[in-house]
Amino acid sequence: MAPVGVYDSGFGGLTVLRELRRALPELDYAYLGDSGRAPYGGRDVDTILDFAEQCVERLFGEGCRTVVVACHTVSCVALRHLQHRYGDAGRRVLGVTIPAAEAAVAQTRGHIGFLGTARTVASHTFRTEVHKLAPGVTVSEVAAPLLAPLVEEAWEDTDIARLAVQRYLVKFHGIDTLVLGCTHYPLLEHAFRELASKDLTVLNPAPGVAARFAVWRERHPGLAPVGSGRLRILSSGDTARFAASAARFLGETPPSVEHIAERGGRLAPCAEGAEPLGQVVR
């Protein structure tokens, strides 16, 4: 059966997959984490488009008919491009930005704060989507490049993480709703709730993404058919590291991680360990 493809720059999109599997456990999923080339958040647009094409093509190559771009950076920068290039009657590419904007607009009393990677914030895509829904709402966007690496290090429960969260929180003034606009940040949700003022709503967009996907799927059952709840995980990075980190993001023990690597401009299945260590001269 065709699995639903879920794509992220690394581990973070497992927080979105977690909610998708909670909402629709009967579907099969194929998760692709491009962890060998993450983080994406500081990269230029052309590189992100290139990586995103390779990853989406790999997932379609694995038999997916629908790919959910869980990564906010890719969704903000490259979703339109991916939809134009790959979307047709038999294949779809969906993103997280519109569901995030919808959830925030439903929640806010007039001023939304948005935290994301530098590239996500520079795109202003989230603000654009909010203003399509609610032109009168104010959106303040702040880049938080330190947070994803802290989560990758599993430091979300440390003083250094709380200090970083505090430093980013003080950049906002007058917001009533704060959107965690990066797939890593849900692991810092408790730190945000602890350190933010009590009347600030901290919003993880992932449950809203899953709810929106479930509604979409009712109209397109053939593009995301019922399976047996099977999960595959593909990673372009160190599979042992991926496996060790995955449960923190996914909330369940992951299956064994399959390795993929770029060969001739395409991501292909590839045995691990072929990468050179030390000096390389070409």
Question: Would you please indicate which residues are annotated as catalytic (active-site) residues?
Answer: 71, 182
Q: Quick one: which of 5, 36, 39, 205 contacts ligand DGL (CB under 6 A)?
A: 39
CA distances from 61 to 5, 56, 86, 104, 269 (A): 10, 8, 12, 34, 11
Give CA torsion, residues 28, 250, 140, 41, to 10 deg.
-90
**Structure token digits, residue 30:** 């194929």
The two three-digit tokens of residue 212, written as one number: 């929106």
**Interface with ligand DGL (CB under 6 A), residue from 14, 32, 38, 82:** 38
Long-range CB contacts (within 8 A, 24+) of 223-226: 223/2, 223/65, 223/66, 223/90, 223/91, 223/92, 224/2, 224/4, 224/24, 224/27, 224/65, 224/66, 225/1, 225/2, 225/27, 226/1, 226/26, 226/27
Q: Which of 6, 7, 8, 92 binds ligand DGL (CB under 6 A)?
A: 8
Which of 2/29 has CB closer to ligand DGL?
29
- Residue 14 touches ligand DGL, criterion: CB under 6 A: no
Applying CB under 6 A, among 14, 32, 52, 148 the residue interacting with ligand DGL is 148
Asked whether position 156 contacts ligand DGL by CB under 6 A, the answer is no
Considering only 66, 97, 120, 123, the residue that binds ligand DGL (CB under 6 A) is 120
For ligand DGL, give the closer residue by CB, 35 or 66: 35
> How many angstroms separate the Cα of 246 from the Cα of each of 145, 165, 187?
21, 23, 12
List the structure tokens of 264. Answer: 């001739």
Interacting stretch for ligand DGL, rule CB under 6 A, among 68-76, 106-114, 221-229, 257-265? 68-76
Quote the least distance from Cβ 231 to ligand DGL, whole Å.
19
Which one, 40 or 213, has the nearer CB to ligand DGL? 40
The CB-of-34 to ligand DGL minimum distance in angstroms stands at 8
Q: Which is nearer to ligand DGL, 3 or 41 (CB)?
A: 41
Taking the least distance from each CB to ligand DGL, the nearer of 2 and 245 is 245
Establish if 182 lies at the interface with ligand DGL (CB under 6 A): yes
Segment contacting ligand DGL (CB under 6 A): 70-78, 165-173, 211-219, 271-279? 70-78
Residues that bind ligand DGL (CB under 6 A): 8-10, 12, 38-41, 71-73, 116-117, 120, 148, 182-184
